[in-house]
Structure 1
């Protein structure tokens, strides 16, 4: 006869293995957050990643997947993202996808910093050599300094994650790149997956490092929770587009100038102020060169001087300053970043050409025409009658009535002590409200009679 004893233990006194199994089951039951970093790695994407990692940790998510497709980004944002990934308390998989996507430049560092690095077929990784923002030729000594620093960072990240440190340094120094299959063979990433469900299936049962230790992943069949940026983050990312920020800044300046030359319009000044404020917000998230900003402001000042002086040379200097400032707007002279290709953070030359033509047309066409119209004589009202001739309809001593341009007006003699008799010809020499100031004038009939 066998007797089985069943002992009920409080929840907190469960055997360690049972508690672990329960925890694993609870984690597996939770959905996997999937983030999307698509485009330039910038301040907004860094904040987005950091915020969602904190949220996933608080929720006890079994894994966070970061779907990545980037040509690169700023050094500051890249370092912020790698710090967040290396210090994550929840397992994180960076997944370069979909097919045709890339983890170039800053994306290489971000991918290697993840606990799990994966790529979709038809993607690439690498080309992490530092570049000079704005396309300028860097100082050789500064370039060596920055390249060495970037290579050391790449080796450090790769070593920490037990990946190919030699290739990581080569990607920085020689701008080499790998396909997904090549990256697996070279030990740069962990696996290739066709999509997110396939990735979760392949990760099930594998171990992933976190700052608190290695965890076993239970992700087979787990639901996916797509988490996009907040509306405010999406708006800020649009504003932080280099071309959008440039447009807002220039159009804002034109709006302010339009308000100055047409006071009381309100709308141009209001929209211009809003545009400049939004541009300054965007500039705070971009590697702005204040030398470029000053050159653009100088160009506006020279255009204003040109429309008042019509010298010609000032207009040419203004156009040159505008083009130079636009080209130098992003990136400090001599400063390199291992984060972005030169084309990622700059204003398109075609946009610079279009905006330069627009600004020149605005000042030399619209504003100049406005000033010319202001200088023309008034064509309406009593002031338009100055210089015209008429006939006295009554005795003016000193006031009476006259006919000017077939209209009858109240008039007063100028000077007051010289009366004008009825029927005599007069000339309008001024106005006082709706009263004309007139003086006696000789008419051709008066000359014939004399």
Structure 2
């Protein structure tokens, strides 16, 4: 597998899945190609934790020629059980800086540097590498060529090819978790490439994109709360909020995927009952699709190919459209049982009071009080012309035979 972009939540997720994939495939070790300018210190710490607790040796190589392991990449390199670099590569410059690029306050900067130095001291001591180099890449932003790094003992091997590095690593005894010693075994390579899940998460978890997404989501949700019924801002804000939580390390990628799928299904279900003019349905389809990308991955042995995700999303979308259409059509159905449905209907007089202008009539199998301006008789057919309260206004129907009344 390769780390070839800025270190972030997507990289962490990719490394976690890479280790799981290697274990699932019964691989004896994991080769990681590194070419990165650095990235999030928080993500770096979590990646280092994954490497230190990996059940199989992790072999890290800076390559290809011309690549570099800058900043966070240099720290990750020190955590690997066996590390190396190809010729014409460089390593170092790992001084912590603010994500905005601005200078941190003096006390905060000192705290960050001291904390990172003590952390890296432990890594270099564990792997038996140059402790002074580990300190200087943090305190002085030192960067050296691969040749120099090998000379001072910052890396284990300087090689010209990937195959040469694997040959070097083969048979070396390394410390695993719990100080357990294990010999490195090397077999045929199985590629774990960057998939669409990684690329999607990598884009969305870019620090600037993540921040803008969070602010936009909160703004949309606020707009929906202050202007209820518009729906579209609330849908977009809900989806964006979950994605921004994943971007900011507040929610695991897999759990984020599950929440997006459930949110998508909820939106599609609500489309049948809420007049959103398609906003809930479209939002549900988008949420379901992205959740499907995030939830399953190849490393777990339950990978969902795009050939399955796309048709499933399409079918759900079509079903949502059909249900919404049928629900909309019901609005054209004339309501039964209301007063307005009685107007124009004919019924039969079942009893009359003295004078013949008031009494009881039967219509739609129900008995109603009625009033007629002209006298009527029992058994007459009358037509409903209006109502007031619980009394119907009627007039004699042209149909006079009682047996022909409805």
With the length of structure 2 as denominator, give the TM-score of the two structures: 0.54
Structure 1 position 43, deviation (Å): 1.9
CA distance change for structure 1 residues 121 and 51 in 2, over 3 Å: closer, same or farther? same
Is contact 2:12-2:43 (8 Å) kept? yes
From 13, 31, 35, the counterpart of 1:69: 35
- 1:91 is displaced (CA, Å) by 1.3
For residues 98 and 46 of structure 1, the distance between their equivalents in structure 2, rounded to whole angstroms, comes to 21
Corresponding residue for residue 201 of structure 2: 236
Give the SS at the match of 2:43: helix
Moved over 4 A (4+): 246-260
Is 1:202 equivalent to 2:202 in the alignment? Answer: no
Conservation of the 8 A alpha-carbon contact between 1:71 and 1:103: yes
- RMSD of the alignment, in Å? 3.1
1:282 aligns with 2:249: no
- Cα distance in 1 for partners of 2:76, 2:243 equals 26
The answer (yes or no) to whether the contact 2:31–2:58 under 8 Å persists in 1 is: yes
* Structure 1 residue aligned with 2:395: none
**Residues 54-76 of structure 1: CA distance to partner in whole angstroms, max 9, x if unpaired?**
34235431210011122222222
Instruction: Report how many residues are paired.
Output: 249
Partner of 1:163: 129
Structure 1 residue 170, shift from structure 2 partner? 1.1
Q: Which gives a bigger RCO, structure 1 or 2 (Cα 8 Å, sep 6+)?
A: 1
How far residue 158 of structure 1 moved from its aligned partner, in angstroms, is 0.3
1:108 aligns with 2:74: yes
The equivalent residue for 2:118 is 152
Over 3 Å counting, the alpha-carbon distance change for 1:257 and 1:159 in structure 2 is closer
In the alignment, what sits opposite 1:26?
none
Q: Describe the shift of the 1:202–1:255 C-alpha distance in structure 2 as closer, same or farther (beyond 3 A).
A: same
Aligned residue runs from structure 1 range 372-383, under 5 A: none
Aligned to 1:128: 94
Name the counterpart of 2:232. Answer: 270
Matched, 1:174 2:149: no
Please give the alpha-carbon distance, in whole angstroms, between the structure 1 residues aligned to 2:58 and 2:10: 19
Q: Does 1:226 align with 2:188?
A: no
Distance in 1 between residues matched to 2:68 and 2:86, nearest whole Å: 10
User: Is the alpha carbon distance of 1:279 and 1:165 closer, same or farther for their aligned partners in structure 2, counting shifts above 3 Å?
Assistant: same
TM-score scaled by length of structure 1: 0.49
How big is the shift at 1:197? 2.3
SS of residue paired to 1:166: helix
Name the structure 1 match of 2:397.
none
Which of 14, 23, 27 lines up with 1:57 in the alignment?
A: 23
Contact preservation (8 Å) 1:254, 1:272: no
Question: Could you say if the C-alpha distance between residues 263 and 91 of structure 1 is closer, same or farther in structure 2, counting changes exceeding 3 Å?
Answer: closer
CA offsets, 1:220-269, max 9 Å, x none?
A: xx421110245333322221123444565677789899999x999x8xx6
Q: Distance in 2 between matches of 1:229 and 1:89?
A: 22
SS in 2 for 1:132: coil
Alpha carbons 2:8, 2:40 under 8 Å: kept: yes
1:2-13 counterparts in 2 under 5 A? Answer: none
Relative to 1, partners in 2 of residues 1:99 and 1:245: Cα closer, same or farther, differing over 3 Å?
A: same
Matches within 5 A, 1:239-258: 239-245=204-210, 248=213
Q: Could you say what secondary structure the match of 1:133 adopts?
A: coil
